[in-house]
Structure 1
Amino acid sequence: MRTLLPGRVGLAADALLAVALTSVAVLLGQEASSQGWTALDACGYALVALVNLPLALRSRAPVAVCAFVHGVWFCYVTAGYWPVVNTFGPMLAIYTVASLRPARQSIPWAAVMAGIWIYAGVVSHSDSLPSVVGQALVFPAVLWRFGTTARRAAELAGRLREEQAERARREVAEERGRIARELHDVVAHHLSVIAVQAGLAGFVFDSDRDTARTALATISGTSTEALDELRRMLQVLRAGDEDSAPATPMPGLARLGEMIERVRSGGVRVDLRITGPVRPLTPGIDLCAYRVVQEALTNVLKHAPGASASVDLRYTARQVEVIVADDGQGVLSDKVRPGGGHGLIGMRERAKLYGGRVDIGPRSAGGFAVRLTLPTSPQAVGEGDDTPE
């Protein structure tokens, strides 16, 4: 357990409290003779100081201070001085032990305080011994209860801080994962197109200048678009508040045609089919669908050269479904396992974030297929596809 207050601040506060209790005890001791008790002498004042001043170290060594305070208090009572004068120090010592140590350590000391309290009533021949016994049972119990409550509150606060720190670490990890997926999607797709076009341009540079120029133009346009997307990502990361927005819009299914044209320019024939009424989607779902299609076509471009692909986009009442398939005769499925690869993991993570799912695997007729299903309403989460095959 931690001290009641941290570091030097806690020690200074405890020292001031000890001095204050000592001053109160000294002032109260001056009334001892008027209450029929022996007036404090030099020994009495010394015992008062020894009971209260050690409380300055109560947060550093609560059990040791409590033991010392109760030992001196016992001597004070045995010497025949007014017991009430020195009750505040032992009370604070019991509260401190209960607030900083477990019950197995604090309960015995509460019992010790009760015993000394009763002992004080017996040796002083009090006429109201039942009242003294009642006080001896109630006061330590109440102080112990207050201290235990403070200790539990401190433990709960500590656990809360730990949970908040853990949540912050998870959020940082999730944000890093999101950024990594975005970078992978942007860089992998555009660089794959650039690599294919660069190879084509180099191959036909001397024999077919027109094809080489077209390939170089594709490289220029693709690299420009990649830079725009990276610039948009950097603007989002640098944004200091929610009002800051990137200058360029996030890509979505409305730009699916542009992406498909880039893939076609890389030598992959891609057919696009849209079923159902096209309607706007929320930005997150729109970007998720776009990125999954982008990753799937990038894999076709990298791992199944010469294959043809199809993109089926289906809008239903509560879902949007995208199926990207190729006829690469197992070329892609041999190189990219459904459970591995950063791109495939990113697909699943994106879909999971929005309550959807991704099914990835080889087709029975040959080739490879990626099927994404995303709910477009909260009621659709967890439901199957409501469009017949």
Structure 2
Amino acid sequence: MSDRTGRAGARPWMTDLVGAGLCFGLSSPVAVVTAYYHRSPAAWYLGGLALACLPLLVRSRWPFPVVAATLAADVAQLALLAFPGPSPAATGVALYTVAVRTERRTAWRIGAGATAVLLAVSVIRRPGPDNLWQYLAVLAGMGLAVASGDAVRSGRRLLAAAVERADRAERTREAEACRRVTEERLRIARELHDVVAHHITLVNAQAGVAHHLMRSDPDHAYQALERIRDTSRTALDELRTTVGLLRHGESPDAPREPAPGLAGLDALLASFRHSGLDVTLERTGDPAEPASITGLAAYRIVQEALTNTRKHAGPVAARVRLDYRTGVLHLTVEDDGRAGGGAQPGPGAGTGHGMIGMAERAKAAGGTLTAGPRPGGGFRLHAELPLHTGRKG
């Protein structure tokens, strides 16, 4: 870890060293030619160039002081040696660094100030229209340095923004995948709870009947055993269908949704009647074929509500009412309950997963569910479910 950090810290120094070397190397031929043109010792010009490039060794750490240092060196050469050729190159590199590391407005202000100083010294030291090209070269060079640095800075910001968006999109996809997995687990958990709780409750009630009648009425006891067999077979079929949801990826033909719907409501109520629960069904309004998710939700809500009644209130009277209105199915399940308060499980009587599951089913279908004790005893559950696939709100 320390080795990696050390190498990362050495990179700016390497970049600064390479930049200073390139600046001196590329400007040296021009310095030698200029010295020859002015019949002056080339060592003076190369020495001045080296002095101007020396601050570039720390330009990454102190970009603003480096601009001032290189500008001072270039101004000194222009004033003392009349060296307008390559000497401003060091200032150009320093301005490029400032433009890369600061905001656009700051970079252009510093660049404009440095350019104005260089032009002023050049005009004072070598006035005349013959040197116009030198003035324009200084102006173009400084402007190009700042513009290049600004372009690099903007490109880096765009790249960083693109990388950030890609990372955010990846995190969002992962979160969405986790959310869908959680929803799928909850959906399967609801199916398993409804299937197991319902059928085990019926098997338990029918086994009690068979045990009670085994000696006094063997024929009725035998019928109760037959119902246990049928209930167990139905439970296995529904469990097989539910487990098929887990294997959808392996078997594309596996059903995505369990089969039960309102068409099987009569058979469901008959199974409860055989277990000793006096349950009646009432349909009002204009019966319409609901969406599959609504039919499944209504079936499971009735199943779970009557299972709770049979489990917590015993063999009491229960009523199921389906009221078909315009676009909405009003489903009501209520029972007479016991004197103590009906089918709602008390403390320690249940986990509450059944009520949670019914509320989640109603919400998934786009409806609502309310439940609570009846004033005269017993328990009442009411759900409003849309008959079509569109969801409320």
Query: What is residue 170 of structure 2 aligned with on the other side?
Result: 161
One of 197, 200, 215 as aligned partner of 1:188: 197
1:267 aligns with 2:276: yes
Structure with greater Cα Rg: 2
Which letter maps to 2:135? Answer: D
One of 352, 356, 360 as aligned partner of 2:367: 356
2-structure distance, mates of 1:185, 1:89 = 74
**TM-superposition CA deviations, 1:127-157 (whole Å, max 9, x none):** 2344455445544444333333333333333
Query: What is residue 318 of structure 1 aligned with on the other side?
Result: 327
Query: What is residue 316 of structure 2 aligned with on the other side?
Result: 307
1-structure distance, mates of 2:92, 2:217 = 103
1:127 aligns with 2:135: yes
Match of 2:135, SS state, is: coil
Query: What is residue 60 of structure 2 aligned with on the other side?
Result: 66
1-structure distance, mates of 2:28, 2:204 = 95
Q: Name which of structure 1's ranges 234-243 and 83-92 shifts more when overlaid on structure 2.
A: 83-92
Q: Name which of structure 1's ranges 345-354 and 164-173 shifts more when overlaid on structure 2.
A: 164-173
Count of residues paired in the alignment: 349
2-structure distance, mates of 1:235, 1:227 = 12
Match of 1:66, SS state, is: coil
1-structure distance, mates of 2:261, 2:296 = 5
TM-score under structure 2 length normalisation = 0.69
1-structure distance, mates of 2:352, 2:259 = 25
Match of 1:256, SS state, is: helix
1-structure distance, mates of 2:166, 2:284 = 54
Q: Name which of structure 1's ranges 369-378 and 273-282 shifts more when overlaid on structure 2.
A: 273-282
One of 275, 280, 287 as aligned partner of 1:278: 287
2-structure distance, mates of 1:139, 1:120 = 21
Give the root-mean-square deviation of aligned CA atoms. 4.5
Match of 2:155, SS state, is: helix
1-structure distance, mates of 2:270, 2:114 = 91
Which letter maps to 1:347? Answer: M
1:308, CA displacement in angstroms? 1.0
Which letter maps to 1:208? Answer: D
One of 369, 377, 385 as aligned partner of 1:366: 377
Which letter maps to 2:299? Answer: Y
1:196, CA displacement in angstroms? 1.6
1:165, CA displacement in angstroms? 2.4
Query: What is residue 344 of structure 1 aligned with on the other side?
Result: 355
Match of 2:272, SS state, is: helix
Residues 278 and 317 in structure 2, CA contact (< 8 A), matched pair in contact too: yes
Query: What is residue 237 of structure 1 aligned with on the other side?
Result: 246
2-structure distance, mates of 1:279, 1:218 = 32
1:328 aligns with 2:337: yes
Match of 2:61, SS state, is: helix
1:303, CA displacement in angstroms? 0.5
Residues 200 and 215 in structure 1, CA contact (< 8 A), matched pair in contact too: yes
Which letter maps to 2:200? Answer: L
Structure 1: gaps spanning 5 or more residues:
1-6, 53-63, 383-389
1:164-183 correspondence to structure 2 within 5 Å: 164-183=173-192
Q: Name which of structure 1's ranges 132-141 and 221-230 shifts more when overlaid on structure 2.
A: 132-141
Identity, % of aligned pairs?
Answer: 32
The 1:137–1:363 alpha-carbon spacing in structure 2 relative to 1, beyond 3 Å, is same
Query: What is residue 251 of structure 1 aligned with on the other side?
Result: 260
1:49-88 correspondence to structure 2 within 5 Å: 66-67=60-61, 78=73, 84=89
1:122, CA displacement in angstroms? 6.8
Residues 313 and 323 in structure 1, CA contact (< 8 A), matched pair in contact too: yes
Query: What is residue 202 of structure 1 aligned with on the other side?
Result: 211
One of 148, 152, 159 as aligned partner of 1:143: 152
Residues 193 and 266 in structure 1, CA contact (< 8 A), matched pair in contact too: yes
Structure 2: gaps spanning 5 or more residues:
36-41, 78-85, 123-133
Residues 297 and 362 in structure 2, CA contact (< 8 A), matched pair in contact too: yes
Query: What is residue 61 of structure 1 aligned with on the other side?
Result: none
Residues 83 and 120 in structure 1, CA contact (< 8 A), matched pair in contact too: no
Residues 66 and 94 in structure 1, CA contact (< 8 A), matched pair in contact too: no
**TM-superposition CA deviations, 1:273-294 (whole Å, max 9, x none):** 2223433222211111111111
Match of 2:60, SS state, is: helix
Q: Name which of structure 1's ranges 29-38 and 343-352 shifts more when overlaid on structure 2.
A: 29-38
Which letter maps to 2:222? Answer: R
Which letter maps to 1:320? Answer: L
1-structure distance, mates of 2:221, 2:149 = 92
